[in-house]
Structure formats: structure tokens, C-alpha cells
């Protein structure tokens, strides 16, 4: 796998509060840039392996794309891992949440590519790395603002 983005933020809330909001991916479009819509596609609980979503994302140079996403690992309130079917990137998203003090947790968000194609690695993934790193930083800033109840600026 190839790392595309890795960002973290400290948030004044518990790990359970952060997990319940951030890892329920039906909230994802509220705080993560480039995500237009995401809806559950089955009745599995959001914090369980097998949960499926249909996500509409804005892909640079390609416009809106629909992506099937499924939870492949879940360990509440600490970790959620999803795989998506966007063929050019084959994304894996990871969220790790750790309690660092009684009322502060650290949320770490990572995006990796499962695409093993050499051409994609040379041509597409460097662009994806730039886009996803910027989105990760902005998204975590928004997540912090939402969870702390503060108004956060939109840093596109």
C-alpha cells in the first residue's frame, strides 16, 4: 500500500464522542472536503465490519464519482478502516482515535492506496497525495470545530 495522506488533530472531547461522530460516515460530508454525499447501503451498524456506503466524491480532473465503501475493520472507540472501489486509487481510509487526557483525544486520519499498478503509482498517486493531504488537514480542522462546538473556517 502507498501512503497518500496522514494528519492528526487534538480535540477537546472523549474518544467515544469523536468515534461516534467521525466514524459514522453518514456525517463524513459535513466535515471532509470533496465528499458531496455519503449514505449507508445496508443495515449493519456503523461501527461494525461489513457496513457499506455509497459515497459521491469530487475527483480532480474527473468530476463527481460514485464510490462503494465498506468497513473492513472496526474497533470502537479507537479505529475504523474502510476500503473503497475507486479503481484509479483503490482507497483505504483509516481513522485512529486515542484518548490523550480525560477530555482530549487525538484523531489521526490516513488515506492509502491499494493500487499496485506502476503507472498509477507514477502518474496518479502523486496528484492524489497532494489533494488528499490538503483535504485531510482541512477536514480535521472542520472535525475539531464541529466536535468542540466552535465555528471553524473553511480552509480550502
In which residue ranges of the chain is pLDDT below 70?
61, 150-156
- In this predicted structure, what is the pLDDT of residue 89? 81
pTM, 2 dp: 0.87
Give 64's strand partners: 58
- In this predicted structure, what is the pLDDT of residue 154? 39
For 55, residues 6+ apart whose C-beta sits below 8 A from its C-beta are: 25, 28, 35, 37, 38, 66, 67, 68, 69, 84
- Domains for the chain: give ranges and CATH numbers: 2-148 (3.30.530.20)
- In this predicted structure, what is the pLDDT of residue 141? 96
Amino acid at each position: 500500500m502507498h501512503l497518500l495522506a496522514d494528519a492528526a488533530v487534538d480535540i477537546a472531547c472523549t474518544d467515544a464522542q469523536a468515534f461516534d461522530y467521525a466514524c459514522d460516515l453518514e456525517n463524513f460530508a459535513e466535515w471532509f472536503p470533496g465528499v458531496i454525499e455519503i449514505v449507508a447501503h445496508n443495515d449493519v451498524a456503523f461501527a461494525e465490519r461489513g457496513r457499506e456506503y455509497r459515497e459521491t466524491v469530487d475527483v480532480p480532473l474527473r468530476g463527481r464519482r460514485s464510490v462503494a465503501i465498506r468497513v473492513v475493520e472496526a474497533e470502537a472507540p479507537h479505529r475504523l478502516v474502510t476500503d473503497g472501489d475507486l479503481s484509479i486509487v483503490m482507497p483505504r481510509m483509516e481513522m485512529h482515535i486515542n484518548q490523550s487526557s480525560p477530555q482530549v483525544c487525538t484523531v489521526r486520519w490516513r488515506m492509502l492506496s491499494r493500487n499496485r499498478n506502476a503507472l498509477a503509482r507514477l502518474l496518479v498517486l502523486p496528484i492524489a497525495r497532494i489533494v488528499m493531504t490538503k483535504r485531510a488537514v482541512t477536514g480535521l480542522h472542520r472535525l475539531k470545530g464541529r466536535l468542540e462546538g466552535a465555528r471553524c473556517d473553511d480552509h480550502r
